[in-house]
């Protein structure tokens, strides 16, 4: 996190506080939305999602203003390394990596919209007095910058609208993505991801056992020859882990 703050300090020197604050707030909101859609049994707090949004916006700012940078490849590799390392730390227990991912995506898209720079040729042209031998008029931005701006703006509007609608409808994203919980925590021999007691709702229909993990809202059916309590507890632990 200290490395992130060091990189962000350089970023603050290039842009005004209003734009950075806008990205910070919206990215934090985006991270909270994604966390609420995937984590149903607990509440997470903190500014890490918003910080990931700022890092994501730095990456998109580098991409959309690619032609203006000198050491672009080194900057790109540094940002990618910082993102990968911090996301890898997010798979530890009690760390809300969904907020990190949501903030990162929100900030990445916002960077294309908020941090677009004019081309040097256009800036230099404005400083030259007009005359009969003046160079042809230069465009303020390149075509790919406009394309990235439009696509990012559309994805932001659609994504936030869809996420808010699903949130108020009580949508549980884990029901449609059985492996997504590994993005936030990967269980190992050293730790378990489920810190709360494991409880499941069980319904037996013939040889079919229907289990619902109450903590995560994950539903699955099993074919069992004999539904003993030990068997149900074992399957419940597998489902909720």
Catalytic residue among 48, 57, 106, 184: 48
Which DSSP string do the residues of the chain spell out, in sequence order? -HHHHHHHHHHHTTS-HHHHHHHHHHHHHHHHHHHHHH--S-----SHHHHHHHHHHHHHHHHHTGGG-SSHHHHHHHHHHHHHHHHHHTTSTT--HHHHHHHHHHHHHHHHHH-----HHHHHHHHSPP-TTPPPPPPSS-HHHHHHHHHHHHHHHHHHHHHHHHHHTT--GGGG-TTGGGGT----SS--S--SPP-EEEEEETTEEEEEETTTTEEEEEE-S---HHHHHHHHHHHH-
48 is catalytic: yes
Catalytic residue among 100, 106, 181, 184: 100
Residues carrying an active site annotation: 48, 100
């Amino acid at each position: 996190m200290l490395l992130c703050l060091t990189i962000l300090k350089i970023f603050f020197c290039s842009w005004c506080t209003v734009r950075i604050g806008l990205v910070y707030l919206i990215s934090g909101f985006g991270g909270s939305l994604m966390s609420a859609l995937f984590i149903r049994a607990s509440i997470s707090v903190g500014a890490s999602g918003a910080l990931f949004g700022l890092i994501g916006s730095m990456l998109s700012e580098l991409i959309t203003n690619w032609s203006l940078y000198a050491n672009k490849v080194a900057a790109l590799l540094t940002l990618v390394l910082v993102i990968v390392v911090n996301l890898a730390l997010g798979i530890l227990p009690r760390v809300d990596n969904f907020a990190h991912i949501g903030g990162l995506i929100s900030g990445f898209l916002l960077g294309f919209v908020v941090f677009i720079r004019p081309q040097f040729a256009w800036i230099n042209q404005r400083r030259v007095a007009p005359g009969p031998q003046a160079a042809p008029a230069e465009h303020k931005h390149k075509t790919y910058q406009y394309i990235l701006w439009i696509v990012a703006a559309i994805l932001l509007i659609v994504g936030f609208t869809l996420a808010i609608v699903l949130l108020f409808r009580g949508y549980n994203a884990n029901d449609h993505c059985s492996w997504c919980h590994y993005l936030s925590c990967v269980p190992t021999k050293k730790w378990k991801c489920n810190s709360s007691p494991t409880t499941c709702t069980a319904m037996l229909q013939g040889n079919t056992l229907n289990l619902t993990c109450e903590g995560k809202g994950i539903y699955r059916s099993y074919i069992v020859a004999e539904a003993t309590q030990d068997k149900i507890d074992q399957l419940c632990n597998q489902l909720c882990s």
